Structure 1
Amino acid sequence: MRSLGVVFAGALMWASSAHADDPPIKIGVMNDMSSVYAVAGGRETVEAVRMAIDDAGPVLGKKAELIFADHQNKPDVGSAIARRWYDVEGVDAVVDVPNSAVAFAVQSLAKEKKKISLFVGALSSDVTGPKCDTYTTQWAVDTYSLAHVMGAAVLKRGGNRWFFLGADYVFGRALVRDTSAVIEANGGKVLGAVYAPLNTSDFSSFLLQAQPTNPNVIGLANSSDDTVNSIKQAVEFGLTSNGATFAAYVLFLEHVQSITLKAAHGLLLANPFYWDLNDETRAWSKRFEEKIGHPPDWDPAMSYSAVFHYLKAVNAAGSRDADAVAAKMRELPVNDFTTKDGKVRIDGRVLRNLYLLQVKKPEESKGKWDLYNVVATVPGDEAFRPLQDGGCPLVKAGSAKP
């Protein structure tokens, strides 16, 4: 009788020879590399994905390949890039895709072509709700979890009269929708909402509409540089002179640096990752900082997690077939420096802890990037929408238990 070791070695040799003539797995990072969402993403996410490919090692006998492109925050540009990647360049999976409008265009095409979508920067909860499909996963926060974790925290602190300034596309409107439901369910009041185009430099006409309502919370349902500019201009207009506070949903380390701890201290954030959480996050972040020059924010870290898990699933499935890989991604637990025993649900929603963070006072900070205190750790099954409530057709079809 042959030993198990010989049998296993033979199986590995067979698997290697079976894929010897196949091209390597190819991953495309698609995001904003030149505009409002380039901060803490862009080429930083490309580098994080490169680290995931290096750490994963050979996949089906060969090292995975990486390409990347700037979608310019335009759905037609994103769709054209994805079509070329799928039809000409043989891309197996697309990762990141901030801007939900672009993500929906990519998601539709990926479903048609049976390709894997690893969304990180696409935050509309509709991705894993009505628009869910077998091939799409959502790795970071979404509008539901932001609304519930952040909205509940602000309400508990007395913020019950909200006025929203949102981004005028699906992300901003979904975030206002989801947060409004939380506010009204908990006895608060939504006083109004206005929506500004992406990458607006002057928010004055929008902010002036908030003044007469006298809110005690200004909900900033936008992101990145738009949020920074909103905060600075709201302060200039005196919207916080009556004690009103901000609910800023998507801010990165560099943004807090720009606002300064003196102005931003006390601000709450709901994040899926912080570089200084524990020894593992600090160790990986040190590697990243050696390449980029500063610690990572959550977009690069979550993109690493998504790609690392995907490549692990490809090897476990022994195939690049999208149906086999998608099933294996849902079967295997998500384990890396960002996530412990996470789960990919049938609707594609990744269940993992979220962290309620609060910006430190200047005197609390021990260094340039020591910016947050961890206020609470929120388990994934509390932070994210219950499976049966999302309207995912895969769940309606009874294809899995919650």
Structure 2
Amino acid sequence: MLRRMLLAAALGTLTTAAAQAQTPVKIGVLTDRSGVYADIAGEGSLVAARMAVEDFKAADKGLKVEVIAADHQNKPDVGSAIARQWYDRDGVDMIIDGVTSSVALAINQVTKEKNKTFIDTGAGTADLTGVQCTPNTVHWVYDTVALANGTGGAMVKRGGDTWFFLAADYVFGQTLQRDTTTVVTKNGGKVVGSVKTPFPTADFSSFLLQAQGSGAKVIGLANAGADTINAIKQAGEFGITEGGQALAGLLVFSSDVHSLGTKVAQGLVLTEPFYWDLTDATRAFSDRFAKQMGGKKPTANHAGVYAGTLHYLKAVEALKASSDGAKVVAKMKEMPTDDPLFGKGTIRVDGRKIHDMYLFEVKKPAESKGEWDLYKTLATIPGNEVFRPLNEGGCPLVKG
């Protein structure tokens, strides 16, 4: 009896010691849960982060990980207030997602001030690894330069040498138009006009009529999510593509194409770094994800949340600490990235995650074998070609 009691006490002491030895890690998914970007990010981002924690087997590696989420409502002031509260009061170590560029830039600054970690997987502005880069931020999935090089470059090479832009009137639309204009003019094309559209908006009719009247061969949609869906639908109603003008969706996700259907979206050329049907590994992940999301396949943003969370946890495990954000990000940059969705890659000194991008074309209805069979691959664009060269972004972390 005494022996049993002593054994139980010893086991209890060991269990308590093991529990105390666990490094606490708190991850905040700060996303759009109710607005125009809810489908491309939203609840799916929370599911993806939790899948990464599960697959990493964090508890077995001495990490006690908690994942929480909040809705920034696409408002920079709301996003920065939540980030500040999370860091100051709620013990959050890392924020991920940040869809909406204006919000991501605000989170970026708060994260630097509080020396925490921010992994942007949803916002596109390339300024996060340019003039506004910090030692605390990693930019994962895509950015405005990569989208411009992919879709913009491809459209000009196909003969689309005159452009008219519909740009969402906030930092994302502005930087996407800026970066695509650079690619178009560098390849011998010309921008004949542009219009800023309210963000968000449901009615693109007057803007599309201006674009139609411009006679431009390509109408560049510098927007995303529900805005892109509405613009493409209304362009169809105006017979714009039937009239010979091409639509360039500069940021299009598989969820957008699924909402539109292949009948409306067929022939649309777009650039993404991830598609659920690329490999056995992406298909396996996507099947698991869909079971938790009512049959919906993951977007590139969701893939980025999963991969970014995995790599972050690897860095925290290596350091056995999560509180010093700059040290964690430095470790993330030092370690090569490797995950089932993006494969092998690296994170540059400016925080830019480098991986290949793909030029896709939306299938015709007759080519599609199911509701999520949406893309055919036109080209693989190597990461070192599609992202901006390290010395051209103006990031103060880049020496020389």
TM-score tier by shorter-chain length is: over 0.9
Partner of 1:296: 298
Q: What are the within-5 Å matches in structure 2 for residues 52-131 of structure 1?
A: 52-58=52-58, 61-131=62-132
Partner of 2:366: 363
Task: State the AA in 2 paired with 1:161.
Answer: T
Are the structure 2 counterparts of residues 288 and 18 from structure 1 closer, same or farther at C-alpha, using a change threshold of 3 Å? closer
TM-superposition CA deviations, 1:350-399 (whole Å, max 9, x none) = 00011111111111111111110111111110110000000000004x5x
Structure 1 CA distance, aligned partners of 2:287 and 2:237? 37
Partner of 1:160: 161
Partner of 2:353: 350
- Give yes or no for contact 2:166–2:220 (8 Å, CA) kept in 1: yes
Structure 1 CA distance, aligned partners of 2:342 and 2:255? 23
TM-superposition CA deviations, 1:97-122 (whole Å, max 9, x none) = 11110011110010000010000111
Partner of 2:11: none
The alignment partner of 1:311 has SS state of helix
Task: State the AA in 2 paired with 1:262.
Answer: K
Partner of 1:306: 308
The alignment partner of 1:270 has SS state of strand
Q: What are the within-5 Å matches in structure 2 for residues 272-287 of structure 1?
A: 272-287=273-288
Structure 1 CA distance, aligned partners of 2:328 and 2:149? 31
The worse-fitting range, judged by mean Cα deviation, of 286-295 and 118-127 is 286-295
- Give yes or no for contact 2:40–2:255 (8 Å, CA) kept in 1: yes
The alignment partner of 1:154 has SS state of helix
- Give yes or no for contact 1:269–1:358 (8 Å, CA) kept in 2: yes
Indicate whether 1:392 and 2:380 are aligned.
Answer: no
Partner of 2:137: 136
Structure 2 CA distance, aligned partners of 1:82 and 1:389? 30
TM-superposition CA deviations, 1:30-86 (whole Å, max 9, x none) = 010001000131001100100001111226623310010000000000011001100
The worse-fitting range, judged by mean Cα deviation, of 199-208 and 126-135 is 199-208
Structure 1 position 252, deviation (Å): 2.4
Partner of 2:3: none
Structure 1 unaligned segments of length 5 or more: list them. Answer: 1-13
Moved over 3 A (4+): 16-19
Structure 1 CA distance, aligned partners of 2:256 and 2:86? 33
Partner of 1:231: 232
Structure 1 position 171, deviation (Å): 0.4
Structure 1 position 29, deviation (Å): 0.2
Task: State the AA in 1 paired with 2:141.
Answer: A
Task: State the AA in 1 paired with 2:320.
Answer: G
TM-superposition CA deviations, 1:318-350 (whole Å, max 9, x none) = 222223211110111111111222000000000
TM-superposition CA deviations, 1:252-290 (whole Å, max 9, x none) = 223213322122111111101001101111111111112
Structure 2 CA distance, aligned partners of 1:387 and 1:251? 25
Structure 1 CA distance, aligned partners of 2:19 and 2:128? 33
Structure 1 position 95, deviation (Å): 0.2
Structure 2 CA distance, aligned partners of 1:262 and 1:225? 18
The alignment partner of 2:372 has SS state of coil
Partner of 1:380: 383
Are the structure 2 counterparts of residues 257 and 323 from structure 1 closer, same or farther at C-alpha, using a change threshold of 3 Å? closer
Q: Give the % identical residues.
A: 52
- Give yes or no for contact 1:20–1:61 (8 Å, CA) kept in 2: no
Q: What are the within-5 Å matches in structure 2 for residues 313-332 of structure 1?
A: 313-320=315-322, 321-332=324-335
The worse-fitting range, judged by mean Cα deviation, of 170-179 and 49-58 is 49-58
The worse-fitting range, judged by mean Cα deviation, of 320-329 and 224-233 is 320-329
Indicate whether 1:213 and 2:214 are aligned.
Answer: yes
Structure 1 position 23, deviation (Å): 6.2
Structure 1 CA distance, aligned partners of 2:127 and 2:191? 22
Structure 1 position 22, deviation (Å): 6.9
TM-superposition CA deviations, 1:101-145 (whole Å, max 9, x none) = 001111001000001000011100000000001110000110000
Structure 1 CA distance, aligned partners of 2:343 and 2:257? 28
Structure 1 CA distance, aligned partners of 2:259 and 2:111? 37
Structure 2 CA distance, aligned partners of 1:47 and 1:314? 21
Task: State the AA in 2 paired with 1:295.
Answer: K
Partner of 1:266: 267
Structure 2 CA distance, aligned partners of 1:58 and 1:261? 40
- Give yes or no for contact 1:121–1:140 (8 Å, CA) kept in 2: yes
- Give yes or no for contact 1:75–1:102 (8 Å, CA) kept in 2: yes
Task: State the AA in 2 paired with 1:198.
Answer: F
- Give yes or no for contact 1:57–1:63 (8 Å, CA) kept in 2: no
Structure 2 CA distance, aligned partners of 1:186 and 1:80? 42
Paired residues, number: 383
Structure 2 unaligned segments of length 5 or more: list them. Answer: 1-13
Partner of 1:35: 35
